[in-house]
Structure 1
C-alpha cells in the first residue's frame, strides 16, 4: 500500500515538475520568438518589396521588349525590305497587310506607322478602341511629323537603339481619350545597306501594364516622373495630374520638400525605386511602394498568432516529453506535411499552366490538366474516359496519328506539332512531346503528352503567307514553294510542272463593272482552282489577275490535262455579275540543268502565246 502511495506521489511530483518547466520554457521561448519575429518584420517587408519590385521590372521589361521584338520582326521581314527597295503599290499593300496582321496579333499596339526620312507618314495602320476594327489611314489624311519630338528624338538615336516616348494619355480629336488610355510610343531608325529610310513607330496601350503594376496585395503603388507628377496613384482621380490638372503631386501628397526624390525610403513604411533603365524616355520614372496598414496588421497578427501557437505547442510537447517520446514521429509528420504541401503547390502550378494528358493503351483518356481543358474548351468530366480521337482534326493526316501510336508502343518518344480540334470545332496547334509510361516490370501501361500552345505563332505564319483577297498562298510563299520543289528535283529528280494562269480581258471587267466586281471574279476563280486541285498541288496568287499552280510529281503531259480540266471548268462556270469568263494558261515542266527563272519564263511565254492565239487556250 505504501509502495503504491509513493509511486503515485512520485508520479504527480514529476508531473508537477514537468508542467512547471514546460510553462517556464514556453514563457521564455515565446518572449524570445516574439522579439525575433518583431525584428524580422522589416526583413519580411523588404523581401516582399523586392519581390514586388522584381515583378514590376520583369513585367515592364517583357511588356516593352515584346513590342521591340515585334518592330524588329518588321525590320528583318523580306516584305518590308522589298518595299524599301522598290516603293511600288503592290509592295506597299503587302507591308500594310503585314502591319495589320501584327496589330491583330498584338493586342497592346493600336497604331503602327512608317515615316520616311523627311517626316512624312507613308503607312499608318490604326485599331479602333471600341470595335477593335483595324484599318489603313487614307493617304489624304497622312501628315508630316518632322516637327514632332518623337521623330526628332528617334532619328538622333543611335542606330539599333529604340526610342521610348513619354508616358502620356492618348489624344483623340485634340481631347484626352475617355476612358483614359495611357500610351507610350516606341520607335527605331530604319537602315538597309547603310541607307537611312525613316522610322517605324508603334503607339502602345500601357493600361494593362500599369494596372498590373498597381495591383499589389501588400503595398499602395505610386509611379511618378522626375517632376513629382503622379502617373499611378492608388486613388485613380489623383493619377495623371500633369494632364488632368488635379493639382496633386508627390510633394503635396507626402508633404515633402522639393527635389527630395532620392532612391531611399521617403518617410516611414514608404520606399522609392528608379525605373529609368526600363523606360528609356528621359522621364526618370520612379516607383513608390507604401506599406498598407492592413498588411502591417496582418503580419503583426500573424506573428502574435504564431507565438501563441508556438507557446501552446511547446507546453504540450514538454508535458508529453515526460510521458512518451514523440519527437521522432512529430518530425516525420512535419516533414511529410511540408513536402506534401510543396508537392501539391507544384502540381497545381503544372495543372494550371502546362498542357498534359495521360492516355491508356486502349486510347482512353485517363487524366488531363486544366490547361488542356482551357485550350480544348472541354471540361475534365467530358474528357476523362473518352477516346483521344475526340481531338482528331480533319486537318491532320490519320496516318500521322497511327505513326505516333506505333512509335510510342515501341517505347520511343515522339516530338512534333499537331493541329487539333476544340469542342466548338475550331482548331489549335500544339508542340508536343509524347512519351510512354512503364510499370515496375518495364511494361508500357500508358503514355503521357506534354505540350505547348503555339496557335498564335501558327496564325501569324498563315497570315504572312496568305493573299488577303483570295485566301490563296501569296507571291512570297509561292516563291518559297518553287524553291523547295526545285531543290527536291535537284536531289531526287522528282519532276514537277507549273501552270501560269491569266484571266482573259480582266481589265474590261474593272473598267465596266468596277474593282469590287473584279475582286468577286478573282475570289470565285480561286475557289474553282482550289476545288479542282489535288492536295499535293500548291495554288497561289502570282499577282493581279495572274495565278500560279505548282503540280507536284507531274510531267508536262499530265499538267496539260490538268490545265485543260481547269480551263473548261472556268469556261462552264457562271460568274456573278458578268456570267461568263475565260482564262489562258501557259504550262512548263522543269528540265535538267534548268533554273527557276527559265521555268517561269517558259510558262510566261506560253501564256502570252495562248493570248495571241485567241485566248481561252492552254499552251505548253
Structure 2
C-alpha cells in the first residue's frame, strides 16, 4: 500500500511541477515575441535613419570632391592669366585633358570667355581636346546664363537631369550635373569654368538596397530621380507629370513639404525621409542660394517586418518541442531531488571541506608574491580594469597600497602610461579574439603614485566562466626598468657613433637589420630604416649577384650559417660586395665586421667604387651618348636586369616607350647634319625635362629613343608618352620650326625577354607612323 501511495504522490507532484513550468514558459515566450516585435520596429527605425545618413554622407563626399576639383581648375587658370602666360590656352588644354582622363566622372570640361564662347573644351568620352574650329558659342545655354550671376568663389549647381545633345535627350540616358565657377584676376572676372559631371555612379549608389530597405530619390517637384520603376525616372524630361511621387501620393507629398516629421507611410510602406540641398552642403559660406533640393526616402514594408517576426517564430519553433521534453525531464528530476536531499547535504559538507583545504593551499601560494619582487594582479574584465586582488608587495612597485586598489580608488588602467594604453588594450583584445588562455605583453610602462615611470613585463592568464566569457585576468608583473634603460642608453650611444661615419654602418644579427646610419639611408634613398624594412629584411638582400663580388649565392649552406660567417671566412681582399644606389647605379664596397654582442655584428661598408672602375665598368664615357648626353645601349645592356629587379621589388611594372623623330631625314637633307644634330640635342633635353627622375632615357640609335619607366599600369605609360608628344609638338626648333614624334608603348611581362618587349614597342611605333605620325599607340 505504501508503494502505491508513494507512486501516486510522486505523479501528483510531477504534474504540478510540469504544469507550473509550462505556464511560466508560455508567459515568458509571449513576452519574448512581443519584445522581438518591438526590437524589429526599433531596428527598422534605426536602420532607416542610418541608411539616410549614409546616403547623405556619400552625396556630400561627392560634392566636396567636385568643389575641390573645380577650385583646382579655377586656381590653375587664374595663375596662368596672372603670369601673362603666352601659351595660356595650350597649357589649359593639356591640364584639363590630363585632369579629365584621370577623373572618369567628368564628361566635359570647358573654359568660357565672358561672352559665353568656348576657349577650351575637353571631351572625355571622345578622349580629345576640341580644335578651335569645333568650339561653340554657349551664350544661350542656361548654365552660362546662371554662371554670369556668380560672384567670386560662388558655385552654380544645375538640376540633376539627362544629358541633351543637339537638342535631343542622349540615348542611352546619361544623368548629368553641371557645375560652374567664375575666374577672377585682381578682382576682374575673366571667364567661367564649366564641368559636366556624370551622376550615373552616384544614382547607382543611392539605389542600392540593404536588408529589405529600398531607396527613392525625388527632386523638388516630386519627380523620381531614383525609383522602383525605372520607367518613371526623370519624368520631367519627357513631360510626364503623372509619373511622379507628388501625383501618386499628394497627401504624403504635402506632409513631406510641410516637414512635420521625418516619417511617412504609403502603399503599406513605412518610410523615413531626408531633405538634402546639394548647393548649401557644398559650402554654405560661399555658394549662391539654390532651389535644387532633393528628397531622400528610405522605406521598409510592413510585410517585411511581419516576415522577420515570422522568421523569429519559425526559428524558435524548432526548439519548442525539445524544450518541452527538457521541461518534462526537469520536472522528473525535481521530483527525485526531494528523495535525495539527505545524500546531497552530506555531499555538500564533504565538498566544503575540500574547498577549505584548497583555499588554504592557495593562500600559502599567494603569500609567496607578498614577499617577492614580482606583483600579482587580478583585474576584472570591465572598462576600468578594476582590481579584484593584488599582492601586498604592490606598494613596493607602484607606491599604492593594497587598500587603494581594493576600494577602487585606483584601478589598473590608472597605472598604465597613457602612450602605451592603446597597445596594451589591443594585445588584450587580440588574446580575447584568439581565445588564448595565456599570453605575454610586450614590455610597457606604468606610472607610480609619485609619477615615476617604470618598464614592466606582464605574463597574463585569462580566466573564463563556464560559458567561455572572460571574467578576469591574472597578471604576473615584473619590473624591468633597469634592463630597458641600459638597452636604450646603449642604442643611443651606438646611433651617435655610426651617424658620424661617412661609410655605411649597420648593426645586424645577419638576418635582420637593427640599426643603420644616415649614409645608409642616403645611399638607398629611404627616409628611415623602418621604410627600408618594409621591402627588405637585411642589407644582404641588396647584394648584386656578380662573380667578381661576394653575394648570397656564395654562402655554403653545409658549412656556414649565414652571410656574415661566409664573409669572415674570406680574406680581407675578398670581402668586397656590390650594391645599387637609389638611382640604380652600382657601387663597390669593402666590408669590415666586428662583434657587438651575442650573435650581433657591426658591419662597415667602405665605398671603393673609384678604385674598382674597371671591374665595375662604371666609366661614364662608355654609358653616355656623346651627342645627346643620354644613356646609350651599353648602359641599357648592363643595367636593364637590375632595373627590372628594382621595379619588381618596389611593386611597379616596367614599361617601354619607343619613339623617333618624324621626317628626320628631311631635316638632314634640307638643313644639313649640323641642324639635324641640334634637333637631336633639343629633343633629348625636352624628354629629360618632361620625364621623372627614375625614368631612364636612352638613345637607341640615329633618331630613335627609348624610355624605360616604372608604372602601375599601361594607362600611366601612355600618359607619359602623350605628355612627351605634346612637349615636342609645342616646342619651336631653331630654323626647322615645328617637329613631331611618333610613339609606341609596350608593358614588359615578367619572364619574357626585354628585347621582345622592345620589338613590340617598335611595331607599335610603326603603326603610329602608318596611321599619320605624331601619335601614341599602346
Match of 1:215 among 208, 218, 223: 208
1:452-601 to 2 correspondences below 5 Å? 530-531=697-698, 544-545=731-732
Once the two structures are superposed, residues 132-174 of structure 1 have per-residue CA deviations (whole angstroms, 9 ceiling, x without a partner) of x411122223233344332343343453343211101001222
Corresponding residue of 1:597: none
Measured against aligned partners, the alpha-carbon deviations of 1:435-471 in whole angstroms (never above 9, x if no partner) come to xxxxxxxx99xxxxxxxxxxxxxxxxxxxxxxxxxxx
> What's 2:220 paired with?
226
Q: What is the match of residue 66 of structure 1?
A: 65
1:410 maps to 2:419 = no
Q: Which residue of 1 aligns with 2:376?
A: none
Taking the aligned partners of 1:534 and 1:237, their CA distance within structure 2 comes to 52
Match status 1:242 vs 2:236: yes
> 1:39, 1:279 → 2: CA distance?
39
User: How many residues end up aligned between the 2 structures?
Assistant: 386
Q: How far 1:32 moved relative to its partner?
A: 1.0
> 1:88, CA displacement in angstroms?
4.8
- The answer to whether the 8 Å contact 1:49/1:289 transfers is yes
- Structure 1 range deviating more: 95-104 or 142-151: 142-151
**1:301 aligned to 310, 314, 328, which one?**
310
| Partner secondary structure for residue 96 of structure 2 | helix
Does 1:276 pair with 2:276? yes
8 Å CA contact 2:56–2:276 kept in 1: the answer is no
In structure 1, the residue corresponding to 2:278 is in which secondary structure?
coil
Change (3 A) 1:258 1:91: closer
Give the superposition deviation at 1:49: 0.7
For 1:204, the equivalent position in structure 2 comes to 197
Q: Secondary structure at the match of 2:48?
A: helix
* Aligned partner of residue 697 in structure 2, secondary structure: helix
1:101 has 2:205 as partner: no
SS at match of 1:267: strand
Answering whether residue 147 of structure 2 is matched by residue 154 of structure 1, we say yes
8 Å contact 2:162–2:170 — kept in the other structure?
A: yes
Mapped pair 1:56 → 2:55: yes
Alpha-carbon deviation of 1:215?
A: 1.7
Query: 1:125 and 2:122 equivalent?
Result: yes
Q: 1:93 to 1:9 in 2, by over 3 A?
A: farther
State the TM-score, normalized to the length of structure 2. Answer: 0.42
- Runs ≥4 in structure 1, deviation > 4 angstroms? 5-18, 86-89, 257-260, 309-325, 402-409, 416-420, 508-513, 518-529, 532-535, 540-543
Distance 2:681 2:171 in 1: 43
Residues 318 and 166 from structure 1, CA distance in 2 versus in 1: closer, same or farther, beyond 3 angstroms? same
> Contact 2:245/2:253 (CA < 8 Å) preserved in 1?
no
Q: How far apart are 1:417 and its partner, in Å?
A: 11
* Helix, strand or coil at the partner of 2:197: strand
CA distance in 1, matches of 2:68, 2:156: 13
Mark the CA change 1:33 to 1:279 in structure 2 (over 3 Å): closer, same or farther. farther
CA contact (8 A) 1:229 1:241 kept: yes
Q: In structure 2, how many angstroms separate the alpha carbons of the residues matched to 1:135 and 1:99?
A: 10
Distance change in 2, residues 1:108/1:258 (3 Å): closer
Q: Structure 1 residues 112 and 51 mapped into 2: Cα distance closer, same or farther (>3 Å)?
A: same
Paired residues of 2:111 and 2:120 also in contact (CA < 8 A): yes
Q: Could you give the per-residue CA deviations for residues 5-36 of structure 1, whole angstroms, max 9, x where no partner exists?
A: 99988876665455333322220011112222
CA distance in 2: counterparts of 1:252 and 1:134, whole angstroms: 42
Per chain length, whose mean CA-contact separation is higher, i.e. which structure has more relative contact order (CA < 8 Å, sep 6+)? 1
| Aligned partner of residue 414 in structure 1, secondary structure | helix
Counterpart residue number, 2:159: 166
1:534–1:271 Cα change, 3 Å: closer
- Tell me which residue corresponds to 1:137: 130
Asked if structure 2 preserves the Cα contact closer than 8 Å seen for 1:119 and 1:145, the reply is yes
Q: Partner of 2:297: helix, strand, or coil? A: strand
**Separation in 2 of the partners of 1:545 and 1:170?**
41
Q: 1:519 Cα shift?
A: 11
* Structure 2, unaligned runs of 5 or more: 281-289, 338-428, 435-503, 516-527, 537-598, 601-629, 631-660, 672-677, 689-695, 700-705, 709-723, 735-764, 767-778
Deviation at 1:68, TM superposition (A): 1.8
CA deviation after TM superposition for structure 1 residue 509, in Å: 5.0
Which segments of 5 or more consecutive residues in structure 1 lack a partner in the other structure? 326-338, 345-399, 421-442, 445-471, 473-502, 548-574, 577-620
Contact 2:276 2:293 in 1 (8 A): yes
d(CA) in 2 for partners of 1:175 and 1:90? 36
Q: For the residues of structure 2 that align with 1:320 and 1:105, how far apart are their CA atoms?
A: 71
1:418 deviation in Å? 8.4
Q: What is the rounded CA distance, in whole Å, between the counterparts of 1:173 and 1:510 in structure 2? A: 49
Query: If you compute each CA radius of gyration, which structure gives the higher value, 1 or 2?
Result: 2
Quickly say closer, same or farther: Cα 1:12–1:228, change in 2 above 3 A.
same
Q: Which stretch shows the higher mean deviation, 179-188 or 21-30?
A: 21-30
